[in-house]
C-alpha cells in the first residue's frame, strides 16, 4: 500500500496521539512533583495537603472545562479552539516556572493549566471517533495507550529536569517546546472527513459524502439527544463509574512516588516504579478498547476495575523496591483498562448520536474523582502519618466501581434507538440524509 492509499483517518489518529502526548507532559509527572514539593530538604517543603489541593483543583477544573471546551469546538471549530489551548499551555507553563508560594502553584497549576488541558481531552477524542466506521477499537486503543506512554516517558524526564535544571526550566522547556509543537500539529488536523471531501474509514464507497455537521442543526441535535440521555439511569451510572475508578486510582497515581520515598528509596526509583505502572497500563489501554468493541464493554470494564483494586493490598506490606515494581505491574494491568473503554461503550449504547457532550459529562465525573482521590490521599496521610487509611479508601472506591458496572444493561442493544424522532423538522431532514449515506442503507 502506498502512502497515497492510506486513509487520512490514520493520519488524524497519529496527530491526535501526538497531541495527547505533548499536552500530558506536565500533568503526567504529578507523582514526581508531589515527592519533590513535599521534600523537607528541597526548595519548597510544602505539606501534602497543599500539594494535593492543587492537583485536586486541576482535575476538578479539567472536568468543569470539558463541556465548555466541547462547546467552543462546536461553535468555532476544533482547530481554532486547540490553537487557543496551545497558546494558553505555553503561557501557563511560563507562570508555573515562576512559582514561589503555594497559592501560585494552586492557581497556575491547579486551575489555569486545566483550561488548556481540557481542550485536548474531550473534543479531541470525540473528533477522532467520527473518522472510523471500522477499526474504532484499534484507534481508541492506540489513542488511549498514549496516556500510559506519556507517563512512562515524562516522569523520568521530569526527574532529570528538576534535578539538573531546577524548577523553572522543568516547566519552561516542555512548555515552550510542547506548545510550539501543538501549534504545528493543529495545522494538519480536521474535525471530520467531510471537511476533506472524504468518507469515514470503512464507510460504503458507494454512499455520498456526508455534509459537515455544524451550526444550528448540530446544536439542536446535541441538545435533544442530551435531554433524552439525561433521563436514563445509564447516563448517570457511567458518570459515577468514571468517578469511582478515578478516585480510586488517583490516590495511587499521586502518592505512589511518596510511598516509595518513605521506604528510604530514591526519587529516581520512585519515578521508575511509576513509569513501570504506566508502561504496563499502555498495553491494557490499547487492548481493552479492541476487546470492548468486538465483545462488549461491560465485562471488560468490570474485570479491569477488579484488577485495579486487588493489587492495592500489596502496598500494605511493601518495603523493598522489587515489591513496589511487582505492584506497579499488577496494578497497571487493571488501571490501564478501566477507563479506556468509555468511548466504545458510548457508541454501543448510543450508536451514531452526538456523544461528545455525554463524554464530557463522564469526564467531569472523572475529574471530580481524580480530585477527590488526590486531596483525600494527602489529607489522610497528614492526619494519620501513614498511607494505610488512604490505601483502604482506594481499594473500596475501585470495588464500588466494579459493582456499578455489573448493574449496567447489556451493550448488545442501543439504549435510545428512537431518540431522533424528537428532532424538529429541519434536523430530521439532515438525519434522513445521513441515514441515506450510511453503509447498508
Q: Which residues contact 184 (CB under 8 A, 6 or more apart)?
A: none
Q: What is the pLDDT of residues 389-437, one digit of tens each?
A: 999 999 999 999 999 999 999 888 888 877 877 777 666 544 444 444 4
For cell 497519529, what's the residue? Answer: 14
Question: Rounded CA gap, 81 and 86, in Å?
Answer: 9
Q: What is the pLDDT of residues 232-281, one digit of tens each?
A: 889 999 999 999 999 999 899 888 888 998 888 887 788 788 878 888 88
DSSP state letters, 9-67 = HHHHHHHHHHHHHHHTTTGGGHHHHHHHHS-TTSS----HHHHHHHHHHHHHHHHHHHH
Q: Which of 26, 29, 45, 28 is nearest to 37 (CA)?
A: 45
Best-predicted range by mean pLDDT among 38-52, 93-107, 194-208? 93-107
- Three-state helix/strand/coil letters over 75-130: HHCHHHHHHHHHHHHHHHHHHHHCCCCHHHHHHHHHHHHHHHHHHCCHHHHHHHHC
Question: Rounded CA gap, 167 and 427, in Å?
Answer: 53
Classify residue 227 as left (phi > 0), alpha (psi -120 to 50) or beta. Answer: alpha
CA 188 to each of CA 16, 86, 89, 132, 226: distance values in angstroms, whole numbers, following the listed order: 10, 15, 19, 18, 30
Q: What is the pLDDT of residues 148-175, one digit of tens each?
A: 677 667 767 777 888 888 888 888 888 8
Kindly state the helix (H) or strand (E) to which residue 278 belongs, with its residue range: helix 267-295
**The pLDDT value given to residue 224:** 84
Cell of 284: 491494557
Q: Which of 333, 338, 340 is nearest to 278 (CA)?
A: 333
**The pLDDT value given to residue 435:** 45
Cell of 24: 500530558
Amino acid at each position: 500500500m502506498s502512502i497515497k492509499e492510506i486513509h487520512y483517518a490514520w493520519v488524524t489518529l497519529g496527530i491526535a496521539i501526538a497531541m495527547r502526548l505533548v499536552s500530558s507532559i506536565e500533568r503526567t509527572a504529578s507523582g514526581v512533583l508531589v515527592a519533590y514539593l513535599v521534600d523537607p530538604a528541597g526548595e519548597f517543603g510544602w505539606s501534602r495537603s497543599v500539594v494535593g489541593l492543587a492537583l485536586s483543583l486541576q482535575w476538578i477544573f479539567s472536568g468543569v472545562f470539558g463541556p465548555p471546551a466541547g462547546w467552543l469546538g462546536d461553535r468555532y471549530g476544533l482547530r481554532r479552539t486547540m490553537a487557543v489551548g496551545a497558546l494558553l499551555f505555553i503561557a501557563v507553563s511560563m507562570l508555573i516556572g515562576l512559582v514561589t508560594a503555594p497559592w501560585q502553584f494552586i492557581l497556575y497549576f491547579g486551575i489555569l493549566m486545566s483550561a488548556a488541558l481540557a481542550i485536548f481531552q474531550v473534543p479531541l477524542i470525540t473528533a477522532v471517533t467520527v473518522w472510523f466506521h471500522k477499526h474504532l477499537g484499534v484507534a481508541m486503543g492506540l489513542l488511549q495507550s498514549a496516556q500510559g506512554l506519556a507517563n512512562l516517558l515524562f516522569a523520568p524526564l521530569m526527574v532529570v529536569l528538576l534535578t539538573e535544571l531546577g524548577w523553572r526550566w522543568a516547566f519552561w522547556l516542555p512548555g515552550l517546546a510542547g506548545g510550539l509543537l501543538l501549534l504545528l500539529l493543529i495545522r494538519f488536523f480536521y474535525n471530520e472527513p467531510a471537511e476533506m471531501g472524504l468518507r469515514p474509514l470503512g464507510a460504503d464507497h458507494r454512499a455520498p459524502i456526508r455534509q459537515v455537521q455544524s451550526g444550528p442543526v448540530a446544536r439542536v441535535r446535541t441538545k435533544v439527544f442530551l435531554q433524552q440521555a439525561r433521563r436514563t439511569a445509564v447516563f448517570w451510572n457511567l458518570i459515577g463509574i468514571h468517578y469511582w475508578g478515578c478516585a480510586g486510582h488517583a490516590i495511587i497515581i499521586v502518592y505512589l512516588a511518596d510511598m516509595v520515598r518513605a521506604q528510604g528509596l530514591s526519587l529516581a526509583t520512585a519515578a521508575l516504579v511509576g513509569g513501570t505502572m504506566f508502561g504496563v497500563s499502555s498495553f491494557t489501554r490499547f487492548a481493552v478498547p479492541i476487546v470492548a468493541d468486538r465483545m462488549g464493554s461491560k465485562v471488560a470494564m468490570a474485570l479491569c476495575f477488579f484488577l485495579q483494586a486487588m493489587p492495592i493490598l500489596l502496598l500494605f506490606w511493601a518495603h523493598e523496591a522489587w515489591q513496589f515494581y511487582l505492584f506497579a505491574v499488577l496494578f497497571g494491568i487493571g488501571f490501564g483498562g478501566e477507563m479506556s473503554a468509555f468511548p466504545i461503550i458510548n457508541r454501543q449504547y448510543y450508536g451514531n448520536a452526538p456523544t461528545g457532550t455525554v463524554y464530557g459529562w463522564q469526564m467531569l465525573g472523572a475529574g471530580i474523582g481524580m480530585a477527590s482521590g488526590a486531596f483525600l490521599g494527602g489529607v489522610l496521610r497528614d492526619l494519620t502519618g501513614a498511607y494505610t487509611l488512604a490505601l483502604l479508601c482506594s481499594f473500596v472506591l475501585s470495588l464500588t466501581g466494579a459493582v456499578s458496572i455489573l448493574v449496567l444493561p447489556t451493550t448488545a442493544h442501543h439504549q435510545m434507538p428512537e431518540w431522533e424522532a424528537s428532532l424538529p423538522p429541519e434536523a430530521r431532514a439532515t438525519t434522513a440524509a445521513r441515514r441515506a449515506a450510511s453503509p447498508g442503507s
